[in-house]
Chain A
Amino acid sequence: QQQVKQSPQSLIVQKGGISIINCAYENTAFDYFPWYQQFPGKGPALLIAIRPDVSEKKEGRFTISFNKSAKQFSLHIMDSQPGDSATYFCAARESGGGADGLTFGKGTHLIIQP
């Protein structure tokens, strides 16, 4: 049973456009929702994270939108750049859980075309 469903699997966006990646979950005990960015040949790196007490968190061009009632959260990349081309993973973890409790989505391969 996949606890975090991520879509789309792949995404092509023109430079300067908005990239949107969506994730949905079922476990209402999840209370921490990070996004990881992975470049080819590298390990994932934490990009931005949100807790359910806020509906939106913004860091530079990256924004997480969170809809608790719908059990969905999404990553928006504004003014997408070729350097943003990477695989993005959403994840979720239960309250009080450690990193061993992180459940990852299957990833979105994002390509930003110049």
Chain B
Amino acid sequence: EAGVTQSPTHLIKTRGQQATLRCSPISGHTSVYWYQQALGLGLQFLLWYDEGEERNRGNFPPRFSGRQFPNYSSELNVNALELEDSALYLCASSRRGSANEKLFFGSGTQLSVL
């Protein structure tokens, strides 16, 4: 069974540009979560999608947005990139967004903003 896949592995952008990151969940999983892992800051919750709907978002500005497609894959968009957006962006999936569902993480997209 394939795990959570993310693309691209690395992404280099300049300030003010837009970045698009993609995630394919494990087959059968309907929930997708996005996290930002900045150096020394642990994992910060960004967005949660389930069944195509945004269910919750973390304490991030509106220029962080995304969507979930009918096949449950997901896209994270970051507009007007700032230097501090440089981080590892992790996608995770679960069968559904319930309290007891185990999270499975992808290997992440390393975003560098120059």
Residues on A close to B: CB < 8 A? 6, 9, 32, 41-46, 89, 91, 93, 95-102, 104-107
Contacts and interface: CB of A to CB of B under 8 A. Distances in A.
A91 B92 CA distance: 15
Contacts of A43: 4, 90, 92, 105-108
A32 B114 CA distance: 39
Contact of A89 (B43, B48, B94, B107): B43
Contacts of A96: 99
Contacts of A101: 45
A107 B98 contact: no
Contacts, number: 60
B48 A100 contact: yes
A101 to B, nearest CB: 8
A19 B43 CA distance: 22
A46 B42 contact: no
Given A9-B40, A46-B103, 20 more contacts: A6-B42, A41-B107, A42-B105, A42-B107, A43-B4, A43-B92, A43-B107, A43-B108, A45-B105, A46-B102, A89-B42, A89-B43, A98-B97, A98-B98, A98-B99, A100-B55, A100-B56, A102-B103, A104-B42, A106-B41
B98 to A, nearest CB: 6
Interface residues of B, number: 27
Given A93-B99, A98-B98, A44 B105 contact: yes
Given A43-B4, A43-B108, A44-B90, A99 B42 contact: no
Contacts of A100: 33, 45, 48, 55-56, 58, 97
